[in-house]
Structure 1
């Protein structure tokens, strides 16, 4: 069986996605940080804190892979939430520096993983959900692009390129609730996917499909047989 490797499409897209995120964060005025984000209960500072801590957690996991001592991303679900809440209270300058430093260290850790170690199984939290090291790039790309849009600043899902939108739809459609059946049609990419047996056909640009599949928005840009697209649980 071949050793899994990071998706080359995600590897190519991640640097640009990270750079765009940093530019948006650098452009926030101090008064903007406490404003509401697109995520209920989270300010923009919470979103940036999460993005920094996510990169740090993935860096710790990859560093463990390289050392032959796999480590979880987070100590516990509660510790993850507490760390985000605490870091969100930091000054904007500290948050900017923390995010940039985390992105840089993540890139370094990613480049150090041996070719024969991408199959290593990792834990999100001890005893929690698992994933293999090769999935980390896709995971980080989704975090960056989706939460960049969640900042509700100068970037939205409509700015996603076709390549990322396609990767997102491919990743999220298999996670749709097993009781939901549908056909998703990316009208701009001439692609379609069938989930379950039958169900409505939901049609629209791939980026709009991706945003809807994260459980966000109201299905803007999409059409659905019989009315509004089915409700999708938040990602």
Structure 2
């Protein structure tokens, strides 16, 4: 009997998992040269330097989300979307050593704050930007783990979704499919990951098959290696 994809992906976002994946990310960033950093990433319009700058800014933003709960700080994740984008752009041109130092410091700050979360903070929220959507504080570990893993892949420097452990990869895939299923118009698609029960997003539809890492790469980044369709050509990649 095949297993269902995880229903509660946050279960994989343990402090140990976040430290492990952050450490692997730091190892990769530590190997990037100035030429590497100005090279393209998988994120359209962003160099590798932009991706690392974003990961640093994201850690600091999520640290403020947690700080709003544990310290009662009057803060938002970002001052504004424009400020977020400007911070990423301003940091993209840092030297390799500066990138690594800032990423390490921001990641450690976030980890320290996360260690202070208790069940009393389970219902706490923080606005992403003033008056904007809210972020559930208890979701921060999973949100950060996903950012670290996905953008590590985006660096195009030797790390792929297949390098994630099976449980974490399955949790990410389950999370993506849950988001698609909740859309106003779910895609007419069946996603069949090897070793797991197929997930039918809408009645009928094309079946897309492959190992969980390959399907995650297709759904989130448009990567097609290892993904097949019973219709022959792969359908258009759905957007959550």
TM-score where L is the length of structure 2: 0.88
Q: Determine the C-alpha separation between the residues in 2 that align with 1:233 and 1:77.
A: 25
What displacement does 1:230 show?
A: 2.6
Which of 198, 206, 227 is equivalent to 1:192? 198
**2: CA distance between counterparts of 1:230 and 1:160?**
26
Q: Is the 8 A contact 2:126 2:135 kept in 1?
A: yes
Question: 1:25/1:231 Cα in 2 relative to 1: closer, same or farther (>3 Å)?
Answer: same
Displacement of 1:161: 2.1
Structure with higher RCO (Cα < 8 A, 6+ apart): 2
Runs of 5+ consecutive residues of structure 1 not aligned to the other structure:
none
What is the number of equivalent residue pairs in this alignment? 229
Aligned residues of 1:6 and 1:137 also touching (Cα < 8 A): no
Q: Say which of 98, 101, 109 aligns to 1:97.
A: 101
1:49 aligned partner:
53
Partners of 1:61 and 1:190 lie apart in 2 by 35
What is aligned with 2:81? 77
Shift of 1:114: 2.9
Relative to structure 1, the CA distance from residue 90 to residue 233 in structure 2 (aligned partners, 3 Å threshold; closer, same or farther) is: farther
Determine the structure 1 residue equivalent to 2:228: 223
1:167 to 167, 171, 174: 171
Question: How far, CA to CA, are the matches of 2:118 and 2:100 in structure 1?
Answer: 30
**Separation (CA, whole Å) in 2 of partners of 1:8 and 1:223:** 29
Please report how far the alpha carbon of residue 33 of structure 1 lies from its aligned counterpart in structure 2 after TM superposition: 1.2
Q: Unaligned stretches of 5+ in structure 2?
A: 1-7
- Aligned pair partner of 1:34 in 32, 38, 41: 38
Q: Distance in 2 between matches of 1:234 and 1:94?
A: 35
Q: Identify if the C-alpha distance between structure 1 residues 230 and 134 changes in structure 2 by more than 3 Å, giving closer, same or farther.
A: farther
Indicate conservation of the 8 Å contact 1:142/1:168, yes or no: yes
Shift of 1:58: 0.2
1:134-149 equivalent positions in 2, closer than 5 A:
134-149=138-153
**Could you say what secondary structure the match of 1:83 adopts?**
helix
What is aligned with 1:62? Answer: 66
State which of 211, 216, 221 in structure 1 corresponds to 2:217.
211
Q: Which residue of 2 aligns with 1:118?
A: 122
Tell me the TM-score normalised to structure 1 length: 0.90
